[in-house]
Chain A
Amino acid sequence: MKNIKSKLAISIVFLFSSLFFSCQENEDPNSISQGEMIVKFDNYVGNQNMVIDEVGSTNYRYSNANGQEFNLTRFGYYISHVRLEGPNGEVFIDEMNASADAKQIKGYYRVVQGESDTYNIHLKNIPAGQYNKIIFNLGVKEDGIQEGAVGGILDRAAGAWFWNWNSGFINYIIEGHSPASLRDENRLQIHIGGWKNIPSADENPQRFFDNNVEVSLPFDATVMVSETMRPSPHIIMDLLKVIGDTDLAIQNNIHSPAAAVPFVQKLAEAFVVDHTHQ
């Protein structure tokens, strides 16, 4: 009798300890080694650093190919759906979540010129490995809009760039002044947004435009992500690639998906990976 009992006890101890160890095993750092990457965005106007002036400023720092001068009082863009790819089939897809709770928002980023803490996108939980390409969406897609009210950088009450009369986010915002614009205070406002397409059919023209842009940038070199290696690609964005040829006397008040289409075609070209720090 006693013998049986102790055998039972031993086997119970064994059972539990094996459970315990198998749980431990799941957390074995070697099997799911992960690392991080910091993607740095640096905005330029041609070869000049981008500087934000106060609303009303008549200090025109920049000029475009038409010789039209301008300055900037607000500039920035949303980034989402970030993906990394590597030479041996490595893929990292940044997790996305739109939520009312700002802490639960995942995968949405906003670069705001003048707020330096927004220039770096911190990617986490990247499987260790080699990477040589970054792909991201410039803007906020349907999945960030049709879930309803969301928080954090997507909260209109916290300064999100959101159209109230034609729901959707402004993917890429340019505001400033230009003597070429004859609007009040020589205002320049180019708000690029739009997130859905209703394609043309029969005699019906296209309605709405999805002005989200996929930007795909090869790195200048392959980088290594691991627990100890946190590489940092450095992306340069040049605004003149977007409005360099624009006639600011005419195109100075853009606030709708259709009107933004000519700019959208140039957006992907404005970004380039300048260099990567391993």
Chain B
Amino acid sequence: MKYNLTTRDRLIWPALLFVVIVWVGCVSESDEPILSLYRFEKPSHFPEPTYTFQNNDVNEKGFNLGKMLFFDPSLSRDGSVSCSSCHVQSHAFADTWLHPFSFGVEDREGVRNSPPLFNLAFQTEFFWDGGVTHLDFAPILAIESEIEMDESFENLVHKLNNHTQYPKLFKEAFGVEEITGPYVLHAFSQFMLLMVSADSRYDQFVKGDQNALNQEEIEGLLLFRKHCESCHREPLFTDLSYRNNGVQKTITDLGREAITEVAQDRAKFKVPSLRNIEVTSPYMHNARFEGLLQVLNHYTEGIQEQVNIDPLVFKNGKPTIQLTDPEKEKIIAFLKSLTDDNFINNPIFFNSNE
């Protein structure tokens, strides 16, 4: 057959070439996520992050170094406790239910339940009382706290400088000959900044997948928006304010007052996010409740008159939130749709020390 270049052929070849180019482009594009695994990306439906990335941009080496530190018990005074002892990935980096109050070195009991760690790049104040004003400073408190790791930060940095591996890794990640405090803190932050949880079924739903939630969960979402949204505001599920929702029977923990030094803040605590709430039991700063139904019963019946009780949950001598049993079930069903399996199973956070 005689090969005859028709007009059609003349169009087909460039078109084919174009397809090939696009395909090659796609192939390299589908490589992208692997390259950017270690880059911070703001979920499209989230607000702008507040972390100072201009001073500490996340990269693979810094992230891995932060991870190594996070899982390393030799950082604590007696070598028994690492960050990961109290912040466990399968519990969205909260403590396990075995430890209602976190246990530090020598099993000294803490006074507050360890919170989960995620979406930290969007927060401006840390810890239940918000006393820590930058994510970089959070590890200092954890390390130096007598009931956590009970080690001076100064001593820890000294230990790292005398370690067989850390000096080399810090040089690779930050180009420094000597390990100093800020680089240790930057490494911790890089690891924690990538703990972004924004891929629950709820997220798929708000991003347009109508089938991501079932009917009961959608009704739960609507009830949630009516009763809970004013404090647990979407998409972070916290408005980042400090409030007293009445979980202390008698006030022993001053909460925010210890930081602001005004009685108007007594017994107020940071409104926690409710993402991954299914896996972070027990609940509240004082670990008062094991189950979500108990939490809802607290809001509808348990709250009593108390100093600084928030008027959104208690007014005119009684709890403001009224829910029937089926409504409670719906809210709980909705709360469980906030579990982000991709986050709590994400292998980039797995312990890779030895």
Which residues of A does B touch, CB under 8 Å? Answer: 99-102, 145-151, 155-160, 162, 164-168, 198, 204-208, 256-259
The CA of A253 and the CA of B260, in the complex, are separated in Å by 18
B137, A149: Cβ atoms under 8 Å? yes
List the A side residues contacting B52 at CB < 8 Å: 146-148
A149, B259: Cβ atoms under 8 Å? no
Q: Looking across the interface, which residue of chain A has its beta carbon closest to that of B187?
A: A149
Given A145-B134, A148-B136, A165-B141, A157:B181 Cβ within 8 A: yes
A151, B260: Cβ atoms under 8 Å? no
Which residues of B does A touch, CB under 8 Å? Answer: 51-52, 55-56, 131-137, 140-141, 144, 153-154, 156-157, 174, 176, 180-186, 189, 259-262, 264-265
B262, A205: Cβ atoms under 8 Å? yes
B153, A148: Cβ atoms under 8 Å? no
The CA of A259 and the CA of B261, in the complex, are separated in Å by 9
List the A side residues contacting B132 at CB < 8 Å: 164-165, 167
Give the shortest distance, in Å, between A39 (CB) and chain B (any CB). 27
Partner of A100, one of B56, B133, B137, B154: B56
B181, A158: Cβ atoms under 8 Å? yes
List the B side residues contacting A101 at CB < 8 Å: 176
The CA of A159 and the CA of B157, in the complex, are separated in Å by 12
Given A146-B133, A155-B182, A166:B153 Cβ within 8 A: no
Q: Looking across the interface, which residue of chain B has its beta carbon closest to that of A256?
A: B261
List the A side residues contacting B154 at CB < 8 Å: 156-159
Q: Looking across the interface, which residue of chain B has its beta carbon closest to that of A259?
A: B261
List the A side residues contacting B183 at CB < 8 Å: 100, 149
The CA of A159 and the CA of B259, in the complex, are separated in Å by 23
A207, B186: Cβ atoms under 8 Å? no
Partner of B180, one of A102, A167, A204, A256: A102
List 12 A-B pairs, Cβ < 8 Å: A100-B180, A146-B52, A151-B180, A151-B181, A157-B154, A158-B181, A159-B154, A160-B181, A164-B140, A207-B261, A256-B261, A259-B261
Partner of A157, one of B134, B176, B184, B261: B184
The CA of A101 and the CA of B178, in the complex, are separated in Å by 11
Partner of B261, one of A145, A148, A258: A258
List the A side residues contacting B261 at CB < 8 Å: 207, 256-259
List the A side residues contacting B135 at CB < 8 Å: 148
The CA of A158 and the CA of B181, in the complex, are separated in Å by 7
